[in-house]
Amino acid sequence: MSYVAYADRDHEQEHHDPDTFITKYIWSQDHKVIAIQYGITAIFVGLIALGLSAMMRLQLGFPDEFSFINPENYYQFITMHGMIMVIYLLTALFLGGFGNYLIPLMCGSRDMVFPFMNMLSYWVYLLSVIVLIISFFVPGGSTGAGWTLYPPQAISPGTPGIDLGILLMLGSLALFIVAFTMGGLNYVTTVLQARCKGMTLMRMPLSVWGIFIATILGLLAFPALLVSAIMMLFDKLLHTSFFMPAISVMGMDPGYSGGSPILFQHLFWFFGHPEVYIVALPAFGIVSDLISTHARKNIFGYRMMIWAIIMIGGLSFIVWAHHMYVSGMNPYFGFFFATTTLIIAVPTAIKVYNWVLTLWEGNIHLRVPMLFSIGFIFTFIHGGLTGLFLGNVTIDLPLSDTYFVVAHFHMVMGVSPVLVVFGAIYHWWPKITGRMYNETLGKWHFWMTFLGTYAIYLPMHYLGFAGVPRRYFAMGNTDFLPDSAQDLNAAITMSALFVAATQILFFVNMIWSLKKGPKSDPNPWDATTLEWQTPDHPPKHGNWGHELPEVHRWAYDYSVPGYADDFIPQNVSADEAPAGRDHEGEH
């Protein structure tokens, strides 16, 4: 691989800038272009998943009103909505999108260490998305096994898409994991090897820390999904009995013997729980930087924040069975996993306190990215607190598989990371495109999304308490539920449709900005991190022109006493800082 040395190269200008449309925008090896490719693809599939959720809500809010939604479709919508949102949207967008864009720029590198592998990573990801989309159109349709794909029902008659649907799903996941591994090894190596001079690990912005640790989690956890996918493929195609027990299906013997569905659950959640943090940690990191920048204040407890990220990452591997309390596990195991789950609340709470303490007496600018960040703190606290309920075995048992769970995980790993995604897009949009968006429209987008999602998910907690089970197509005659539960469902559906429609504001704003938005300053937020200090705006191929930057300080020198400006960029040395007072001993 002759590309390797590229990121290490310093002052040489021998690299050839891509000049044709194809090498610049299609087969590009530039991390910024790849990031945008990842971002657009992820948002595109995310919109499909949003559409699927609207269909589900139509059925739940107004049962039997829509003839085109039948039970089979409904299960397919549920499955694909969950799978796309968690893996193909959030994982891909945070790591493939933001990871790709931010790591080299924030670390002061010219590109990822292995640009060719980076390009390959995107194209394999795109292939996995294409395979996923094809599964909608094959005979039998996509799989309807739920995003957890539990056997035996995932490959047994009665579930939609047990032929090509599930095969394409598993194949697509395998491709995604290959793509992620190529990308992930790149991100880790780039963070470790390609930082510019002076950029120690402890001077890195928290965004990079979050993405870095999340990538390590992904690299170690995705193999569990791969193993379970391969073994399920064997069970489906070759009739092995890894997971499939001896069962009779519709009076027929499908020929399986003695396999363990619980084994699948262990493998799946060994991946599935770290996956929550693969999505959350980049969000934690990014939101820390957004809050610090827009509050003009250094992040409170920087070192604590890093160690909280690391601790959450480590602990996330020993909590997986809290997803399986109802699987009939040994009570001592349940106790163990409940304990580890509650322990993980400690570093998480530290992070929340630190965000709030960063805001405390800060010079808060309520710009759009800041609104989304503060919104995230709200939704994350709410989702986190319900996690404490569900982490306890005794509380989880009655609430398991009710709408309380749906409300919890949508709040904590649906709405929260998505708010950060929006905040991050609004924050870095001027750097990516060189243009500003309409601030007013952005604020409308925030308030309608934020309040709208509360209108969706807060009532779901009550539905859960009332005992409404999740994943049901229709409730039928259920005496224990009052009629008002249906009214609430109708209201939730209206809110969901409203929030979905609101997202048009975002796209209108961004498309308008691309065409007619005013040109932005190179550093419109007066931020300290390196990506705002590039010689070109937006940064060109190679990022830094002739010379790599040199870092002299950490990423959070905001409102340092004694300086003219309220920020000092990372690449400004003590001698160069405006107002000229000695930097040392100023804190």
Task: Output the CA angle 568-569-575, nearest 5 degrees.
Answer: 65
Among positions 239, 365, 471, 546, the unique one binding other proteins when judged by CB under 8 A: 239
- Alpha carbons within 13 angstroms on the beta-carbon side of residue 560 total 26
Confirm or reject binding of residue 8 to other proteins (CB under 8 A). Answer: yes
Confirm or reject binding of residue 351 to other proteins (CB under 8 A). Answer: no
Confirm or reject binding of residue 297 to other proteins (CB under 8 A). Answer: no
Q: CA nearest 283: which of 427, 123, 389, 173?
A: 427
Residues in 12-31 at the binding interface with other proteins, rule: CB under 8 A: none
Confirm or reject binding of residue 317 to other proteins (CB under 8 A). Answer: yes
| Number of residues located near other proteins, criterion CB under 8 A | 67
Nearer to other proteins, 219 or 338 (CB): 219
Shortest gap between Cβ of 153 and other proteins (angstroms)? 20
Confirm or reject binding of residue 324 to other proteins (CB under 8 A). Answer: no
Shortest gap between Cβ of 241 and other proteins (angstroms)? 6
Among positions 7, 80, 90, 505, the unique one binding other proteins when judged by CB under 8 A: 7
DSSP of 22-79, one letter per residue? IIIIIS---HHHHHHHHHHHHHHHHHHHHHHHHHHHHHHHSTTS-TT--HHHHHHHHH
Give the chain's end-to-end CA distance (angstroms, integer): 47
- CB neighbour burial string for 474-499, b if at least 16 within 10 angstroms, e if fewer: eeeeeeeeeeebbebbeebbbbbbeb
Orientation angle between helical segments 368-391 and 331-343, nearest 10 degrees: 160
Shortest gap between Cβ of 148 and other proteins (angstroms)? 17
As given in the structure block, the two tokens for residue 22 are 């194809």
What track of x and - describes contact with other proteins for positions 536 through 555 (by CB under 8 A)?
A: ----------------xxx-
- Measured in residues, the chain has a length of 587
d(CA 438, CA 457): 29
d(CA 540, CA 556): 25
DSSP of 403-448, one letter per residue? HHHHHHHHIIIIIHHHHHHHHHHHHHHHHHHSB---HHHHHHHHHH
Nearer to other proteins, 302 or 446 (CB): 302
What track of x and - describes contact with other proteins for positions 198 through 237 (by CB under 8 A)?
A: xxxxxx------------x--xxx-xx-xx--xx--x---
What track of x and - describes contact with other proteins for positions 172 through 201 (by CB under 8 A)?
A: ---------x--xxx-xx--xxxxxxxxxx
Confirm or reject binding of residue 253 to other proteins (CB under 8 A). Answer: no
Among positions 113, 132, 377, 420, the unique one binding other proteins when judged by CB under 8 A: 113
Residues whose CB falls within 8 Å of the CB of residue 374, separated by 6 or more in sequence, listed in order:
291, 359
As given in the structure block, the two tokens for residue 261 are 């569905």
Nearer to other proteins, 220 or 364 (CB): 220
Confirm or reject binding of residue 330 to other proteins (CB under 8 A). Answer: no
Nearer to other proteins, 398 or 562 (CB): 562
What track of x and - describes contact with other proteins for positions 356 through 395 (by CB under 8 A)?
A: ----------------------------------------
Contact 430, 520 (CB under 8 A): yes
Nearer to other proteins, 201 or 326 (CB): 201
Nearer to other proteins, 153 or 189 (CB): 189
Contact 119, 27 (CB under 8 A): yes
Nearer to other proteins, 92 or 206 (CB): 206
Q: Is 356 exposed, middle or buried (0-12, 13-18, 19+ CB in 10 A)?
A: middle
Confirm or reject binding of residue 511 to other proteins (CB under 8 A). Answer: no
Q: What's the alpha-carbon Rg for the chain, to the nearest Å?
A: 24
Residue type, 444: W
Confirm or reject binding of residue 310 to other proteins (CB under 8 A). Answer: yes
Confirm or reject binding of residue 306 to other proteins (CB under 8 A). Answer: yes
Give the footprint of other proteins on this chain (CB under 8 A): 1, 4-5, 7-8, 113-114, 181, 184-186, 188-189, 192-203, 216, 219-221, 223-224, 226-227, 230-231, 234, 238-242, 257-260, 263, 266-267, 270, 298, 302-303, 306-307, 310, 314, 317-318, 552-554, 556-557, 574, 583-584, 587
